[in-house]
Structure 1
Amino acid sequence: MDVDHLATLIRRINSSYLELSALMTDPAGMDFDRIRPEFERLEEAAAHRGYIDAAFAYAADRAGAGKYVGAVHSLEYLMRALGLSRSEARSRLQRGEALFAPPKPPPPEPEGPARDEAEEQRRREAEAERLRRQEEAQRQARDAAREAASAEKQAMISRELEHLNAHSEPSYQQLLALALAEAQHRGLEDLRIWLRGRIREANRRGRTPQSRKDPFAAARKRRLSIGAQDADGGAQVSMYLDAAGLAMLQAALTPGRRPGVNASVPAEEDARPMAVRLVDQLMAVVAAYLAADSAHTRQGVGSVAVSMTAAELEGVAGGDRFPSSTGHLLGPADILRLGAARYDLGVLHDDRGAVLDLGRTQRSASLAQRLALFARELCCTRPGCTVGVGEADIHHIRSWLAGGGTDIENLTVLCRSHHSANRDQRDGAGGLGHMDTDPGSGRVGWCPPDGGLLQFNDTEFQQHSAGAKIRRQSGKEDPVSGRPGGG
C-alpha cells in the first residue's frame, strides 16, 4: 500500500468536510431544490465508509492494535482511539472478519461410529468444496461491499447473520455476498425482512458434512443480553434458548400465571397483565436461587450489595439512586424489594474515601475485601470503564509473585478485559501499563506504559461510589472533574 497516497487522500477528505461544514452555517437560506441532488451524491459517496471501516478494523485486529492504548483487545483500540461505542466497534470487527478473514471450517461433530475410508474421503471432499465456495462467496461479498452498501446496511446484515447456524445452506459467506448484492436496490427494512427469510430457509436446509441435521444448532446460539438502564432505571433483557432451555423456563414460569401468585392482593383483585405476572414469577425464581445456601446452587457470591453514605441513609428520598455491585443504580423502592433495607454490612471510610474497617460480617476475609472494594471503588478502576464489581476481578496492585500481599491497600477492581491488559512487571512491554496507588490521594489509577502520570477513572458511574462521595464532601476531590484535589 502507498501510505503517502493514503495520507494525501485522507487530508483531502478532511479538508473537503471542513469546507462543506463552513458552507452549511445557514441551512435555512439554502435553495433546497438545487442542493438536493448534490447531497444525495454525497450520501452515496459516504456509503463507501462501511467497506473502509471494516477493512481498517480487520487490519487493526491483525496488528493487535490494543497495545496502542495499553490494552490487549483491538476492541479497546477502536473505542478509545476512534471514539466508537462498544457496539459499533464490535460491528466493524465482525464485518472486517466476515469480508477479509479466511473462512473457517465447520465445527467438528461429536464422536460417532467409525467411518470407512471411502466415506471419510467423501467427507473431506465435501468440506473442501464447501470452503472453496465460501472463499468465492467472500470475494463476491468484498466486491459488493465496495459498491457502496451503506455502513448501516452492512451492520444490520452482520447482526442478522449472527442467527445463522454453523452448517447452514447457503453458508455464512454465501449469504453475506447475496445480502450485500441485494443491498444495492433494497431499502434497509426491506433488506432486513428479505435476509431473515433467507436465514430461516438456510437454517432449515442446513446439514452437516455427513448430511445430517445438526442436533446442537440451537444450543450453539444460546445467549442472554442485558441492555443499559434507561431514565427510569429499567433495561431491556433478551435471550435465545434451545428447546431444553425453553422447556425449563416455561415450567418455572407457569406457576406465576395464576392470579394472586407473587401478588400483595387476593387473586380476585389481581389486575396485573400476564406479561407482568411472568416477570414477577421470574424474579421469585431468581430470589429463591439467591437465597439458597447450598454450595451446589451458589457458584459465586450471588448477592446484591448497595453502596450509600451515612448522610445519604439519614436523608434518603424517593428519587435517590444508589449504586449496586451489579453495576446498576437502585432507588429506595428497589432496595426494599431486594430485602436489603437493614444494616447487613458496614464499611468505615476515612475522609479520603479509603476503607478503614469492616463490621457486621461473618463471611470470609476475601468476601469482606471484595465488599470493601465495592464500597470504595464501585467499578473497574481503569480510566473510562464502567464495569461493576460484580462482573469484575480483584487485582493485586503489586503482584503476588512480586511479594504483594492480599491486603485491602494492595487490591483494586479490574474488569476481565483490563485485568488481562495489566503488565505486572511494570516495564511497559507490549504497550501495556499497570495499576498503582497515588501516594497523595490514596486513589488507585492506571500508569501508562511510558511511566507517565497516573490516570484515574472519572466516569459518571464511578462518581456514585461511596469513596468518591466522601472525598468530594471532605474537599479531597474536585466536585466537577472528580479528580484528586488539594487540602
Structure 2
Amino acid sequence: MERMNHSGADVLVAQIDQAMTGLAELLAEPALAHFESIHPAFEALEKVFARKAGLDAAFAWAADMNEAGLKVGSSRSTDYLMQRLDISRAEATARLRRGKALYDPPVEPEPEPDDDPVADDDATRAAAREKAERERKAQAAARGREAAGEKRAVIDEELRNLSPHATPGFNELLDRALEFAQSNAVGVVRHWLREQVRLANRSVSRLHESNRAFNRRYVSLSEPDEHGGVRLSGYLPADMAAALSEALNPARSNILDGTALKTTEGMSMGKKRAHLLTAMCRNFLNDKTLNLKGIGSIVVSMTLDELENMRVDDVFPTNTGHLLDPFALIRLGEARSDGFVIHAQDGQPLHAGTGKRTAGVMQRIALFASELVCSHPDCDRPMSECQAHHLIPAARGGPTSISNLTWLCWGHHRDNNDDRDPVSPFGWADRDEESGRVGHRRRAGAPVMVNGTPAARRSGAAKVRARRGEASVV
C-alpha cells in the first residue's frame, strides 16, 4: 500500500492521460467522426466520470486531514485545492464539504426535547443510539455510491435544509439520494429529495426548531454583473423580516435622503423599496460612522487625469469591490461619510478628500487607494473584507504609516508570518525594494509576488503604473 501511494497513483493517472489523449484524437475533427461507432464509448465514459466526484470528495478530505494547505503557505485546505487543482473557491469548498459528509464520524445530536415532561428517558436514549447506528451504516454505504458532480451538487444543496434532529438523518438521506440519483435525472433528484427533506423535518418538534430560522439568517450581495449591478439575496426569521418589511414600506414615509420625492408615479414597489433601503444605509453611514470599525463608508479611487477628463461611460473602483459610474459619483458626493482619493503621476495618493475624519482613517483611505484589495497574490477580497497590517509589527517599532501598512483579508492576515521565521511554512507581506509595491514573500531571499488580479488593477495607482509601462506583476 505504501508503494501504491508513491508510485501506483502516478501510473494510473498516466494511463488516464493516455486514454484521454486517444479520445481527443478521435474527435480532433468532429465532422469526420463516425458517430454510430463512438457514441456508446462516450456514453460509457460519462458513467465512468461519475466516479470522479466521489474521488474528488475523498481526496479533498485526505488533503484536509494532512493539512495540505501548508504546501502552499496557508492554514486552509481550500487554498491548496484551489491552487494545485486550479479550481474555484466554491468548488474547493463543495468538495471538502462532501468529503466531510462521507468520511467524518457522524455527529450524534443532543436528544430532542420532548413535549411530554414524563417521557421515558431510557427510551429516548435508546432511540438516539439506534439512529446513530443507522447513520454510521448509511454513511459507509454512501461512500460506495456513484453520482455525477452535478447531481451531488443538487444533493448538497437540498440536504442543507435538513434539520440535524430530523428522522431519517443526514447520512440516511444522503445514501438514499445517491442511490436514487443513479437512475433518475438531475431535476427529478432535486424534487424527490426536497420532498424527503420536508417529510423528515416534520418529525422535529416545534420546541427544538424554535430558533432554526434565526440560525439560518444571512444577507449576501452577488458579484457585479455586466451592467455593474448586483443581486441582493438572503434569509430572515419572521421578526427580522417583519422589521425589514415595515422599514421598506413606502407608505411610512416619502422622504429619501432628507429630500421629499417629487413623484412616485410609475415607480414600482420594488423600486420604491430600493430607494428606501439606500436612504436608510446612507443615513446610517452619515450618522453612525463613529460606531463602526474601519472606514464605515464608501471610498472611490481615481487618477487626476480621470477626474479632469471624466466621460459618461467611465467607471471607478470602490473599497467594496463595486464600480461606480459618474452618475453614481454624483449621488455619492452628497454624503458626508464618503471619500475620494486622487493619484498623482507617480501613482502615489495626491489628495484624499472627505468629511470629518481622523488622521488614522485618512491613512487607511490612502492605503486603500494604492492597493484597493488584499495585497496577497491572486486575492480579490475588497478592502471592506480586509484588515490593516503592519509590515514591520508595531511591537517591533513599526510605525503606523502608509509606508508600513498594507491590506490583508482575514485569511491571509491570519497566516502571515509576522516573525518571518524561516522554519514556518507561511510567508509574509513585504515591500519589493525595486518597484516599491507590497506583496507576498514566501521565504527569505524569495522574490516579492504582488497581486495582479483584475480587481487589483482597477486602482488608480495601478492605472498610473500601466501608463508608465511598469509591469503589473513582479
The alignment's TM-score, normalised by the length of structure 2, stands at 0.91
Task: Say which SS state the counterpart of residue 387 (structure 1) adopts.
Answer: coil
The Cα of 1:336 is off from its aligned counterpart by 2.2
Distance 1:341 1:315 in 2: 23
Q: Structure 2: give runs of 5+ residues left out of the alignment.
A: none
Distance 1:316 1:200 in 2: 55
Q: What amino acid does structure 2 have at the position aligned with 1:396? A: H
Distance 1:465 1:180 in 2: 47
Distance 2:399 2:65 in 1: 37
1:57 corresponds in structure 2 to: 60
Q: What amino acid does structure 1 have at the position aligned with 2:181? A: A
Task: Say which SS state the counterpart of residue 376 (structure 2) adopts.
Answer: coil
Q: What amino acid does structure 2 have at the position aligned with 1:400? A: A
Contact 2:26 2:33 in 1 (8 A): no
1:137 corresponds in structure 2 to: 138
2:230 corresponds in structure 1 to: 235
Q: What amino acid does structure 1 have at the position aligned with 2:330? A: L
* Cα distance change, pair 56–419 in 1 and its aligned pair in 2 (3 A): same
1:188 corresponds in structure 2 to: 186
* Cα distance change, pair 450–99 in 1 and its aligned pair in 2 (3 A): farther
Q: What amino acid does structure 2 have at the position aligned with 1:432? A: F
More moved, 217-226 vs 315-324: 217-226
More moved, 273-282 vs 101-110: 101-110
Distance 1:311 1:19 in 2: 55
The Cα of 1:81 is off from its aligned counterpart by 1.1
Question: CA offsets per residue over residues 217-240 of structure 1, 9 Å max, x none?
Answer: 111211222221111011222111
Distance 1:36 1:443 in 2: 54
* Cα distance change, pair 156–343 in 1 and its aligned pair in 2 (3 A): closer
Q: What amino acid does structure 2 have at the position aligned with 1:408? A: I
1:468 corresponds in structure 2 to: 462
Q: Structure 1: give runs of 5+ residues left out of the alignment.
A: none
Q: What amino acid does structure 2 have at the position aligned with 1:244? A: D
Distance 1:48 1:419 in 2: 37
Equivalent in 88, 93, 96 of residue 93 of structure 1: 96
Distance 1:358 1:278 in 2: 33
1:275 corresponds in structure 2 to: 270
Structure 2 matches for 1:96-245, cutoff 5 A?
A: 96-106=99-109, 123-144=124-145, 148-207=146-205, 212-245=207-240
Q: What amino acid does structure 1 have at the position aligned with 2:267? A: R
The Cα of 1:36 is off from its aligned counterpart by 1.2
* Cα distance change, pair 229–346 in 1 and its aligned pair in 2 (3 A): closer
Question: CA offsets per residue over residues 375-411 of structure 1, 9 Å max, x none?
Answer: 1100000000001111111111112233322221111
The Cα of 1:33 is off from its aligned counterpart by 2.0
Q: What amino acid does structure 2 have at the position aligned with 1:398? A: I
Q: Does 1:321 align with 2:319?
A: no
Number of equivalences: 468
Question: CA offsets per residue over residues 233-285 of structure 1, 9 Å max, x none?
Answer: 11222111111111111111123699998985424xx2122222222222222
Q: What amino acid does structure 2 have at the position aligned with 1:251? A: E
Contact 2:298 2:338 in 1 (8 A): no
Contact 1:256 1:278 in 2 (8 A): no
* Cα distance change, pair 457–334 in 1 and its aligned pair in 2 (3 A): same
The Cα of 1:25 is off from its aligned counterpart by 1.1
Task: Say which SS state the counterpart of residue 143 (structure 2) adopts.
Answer: helix
2:31 corresponds in structure 1 to: 28
1:5 corresponds in structure 2 to: 8
Contact 1:352 1:442 in 2 (8 A): no
The alignment's TM-score, normalised by the length of structure 1, stands at 0.88
More moved, 381-390 vs 169-178: 169-178
* Cα distance change, pair 455–127 in 1 and its aligned pair in 2 (3 A): same
More moved, 257-266 vs 10-19: 257-266
1:39 corresponds in structure 2 to: 42
Question: CA offsets per residue over residues 332-354 of structure 1, 9 Å max, x none?
Answer: 12222333599965656565424
What RMSD over aligned residues (CA atoms) do the two structures have, in Å? 2.9
